[in-house]
């Protein structure tokens, strides 16, 4: 039983890793929009996901950000939007969000 759980956990990890590597190949750094959204259920998990993603995108020119309610809504909005750029865009390529905070941003 424990061995089956271990195998399932390893397979899920590998699947997630493969999906992320595919995502890296699909994203091109010259586009200034949020192009990938990862929704996670908790703030703790969002910080773990962001730290892993930041290690994986190092050297690619892509950026990762988190909106999870740990910062004010205004500071998160400033982080997401490029000011003074045309066309208007985002500084973030991959956004990791919790459901509640994502709804807050969408309502805004």
Tens of pLDDT, residues 17-52 = 666 666 665 666 556 677 888 888 889 888 888 888
In this prediction, residue 10 has a pLDDT band, given cuts at 50, 70 and 90, of: low
Domain count for the chain, please give it: 1
Give the range of the structural domain holding residue 80, as residue numbers without chain letter. Answer: 2-107
CATH number, domain of 12, equals 3.40.50.300
Cis peptide before 87 (omega within 30 of 0): yes
Q: How far apart are CA 102 and CA 67, in angstroms?
A: 7
pLDDT of residue 21: 65
Can you tell me the distance from the alpha carbon of 36 to that of 64, in angstroms, rounded to the nearest whole number?
9
What's this model's pTM, rounded to 2 decimal places? 0.70
pLDDT of residue 61: 81
């Amino acid at each position: 039983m424990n061995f089956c759980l271990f195998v399932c956990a390893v397979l899920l990890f590998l699947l997630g890793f493969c999906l992320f590597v595919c995502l890296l190949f699909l994203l091109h750094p010259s586009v200034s929009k949020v192009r990938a959204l990862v929704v996670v259920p908790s703030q703790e998990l969002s910080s773990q996901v962001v730290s892993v993603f930041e290690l994986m995108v190092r050297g690619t020119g892509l950026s990762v950000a988190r909106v999870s309610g740990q910062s004010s809504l205004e500071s998160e909005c400033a982080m997401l939007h490029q000011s003074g750029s045309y066309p208007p865009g985002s500084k973030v390529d991959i956004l990791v969000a919790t459901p509640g905070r994502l709804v807050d941003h969408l309502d805004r």
